[in-house]
Amino acid sequence: MPTIDCLTLDVFTDRPLSGNQLAVVPDATGLSAALMQKLANEFSLSETTFVMPPDDGQSEFMVRIFTPTQELPMAGHPTIGTAYALAHLGRLSPDQHSTLFQLGIGPTRVTLDWHDTQLGAAWMTQPAAEFGACPGRLDGLAAALRLSAADLNVPALPVQVVSTGVPFLYVPCQSRSVVDAAELDRQKLVAWCEQAGLGELPVYLFSLAPESDDALTYSRMFAPVLGVAEDPATGGASGPLMAYLVHYGMASLPTHDVCVNVQGVKMGRPSRILMRMSDSEAAKGTVMVGGQSVVICEGRLYL
């Protein structure tokens, strides 16, 4: 009976049973895309990654990312978590300051911050953000979230589509309590998106309202279109969020400034996603998303 090794991790956290869960198959050589999709559905986590030799002549690893229903060209928590899995297995070493993953969007730099022999944080460099439509009529969107239009009335911050590889609909909210109160009605969301001339999108709600923690933003993400009802930590959305906040003057531009995005609290899986602008002049306008991860278990699949 063929066997396949696997790991699971909690990502964007430094403690077990919080953050965003991830399954990693560290040697997926020879697996078909159809089998990868079935395995992702079997794990039934928001994402599963499959690591194999690259074929682009540049990268150190090819990493394919699957939700339970489809493959994604990029995502943040799978990238960060896979780096931790490879470090745990000794395939990334403390003398490496970075690695290059071949993702669906192309070669992607992952910077590695080591604490002695332990990986202290991994940072994913994302492409420069692309800013899309700003739908103007918010009554229907508010109804789809079971909120009022006033709950979404945040001065100087529009509802907008932004992407660094996967587009998200960014929805600023008046307070953290509004973010927590949201409940997605998918049928109404699809109808509103159609009226706005958009295809169905993952929805990223956030608030800048300060509280006693150090977070700049407090967020939730709904993505039934990706096969994920709600996600406790979304690195692929946090990069565009940082670019959006800088664009609208809500976050400082200096590259050494690290902003914290807290997500997953409502789900009981609090996550800390770190965001900053790239420190490379050659990569001006790109964003970096980082954080920690912990290995939860190692196992074997019997197929």
| Residues identified as active-site | 47
Q: Is residue 133 within 8 Å of 302, Cβ to Cβ?
A: no
The burial of 147, by beta-carbon neighbours within 10 Å (0-12 exposed, 13-18 middle, 19 or more buried), is given as: buried
As beta bridge partners, residue 8 has: 23, 297
User: Alpha helices of 33-138 — where are they, by DSSP H?
Assistant: 33-43, 76-88
Both tokens of 235, joined, read 């690195």
As beta bridge partners, residue 294 has: 10
Q: Is residue 301 within 8 Å of 6, Cβ to Cβ?
A: yes
Alpha-carbon span 100 to 3, nearest angstrom = 28
Element (H, E) at 5: strand 3-11
Could you give the angle at which helices 235-247 and 76-88 cross, rounded to 10 degrees? 130
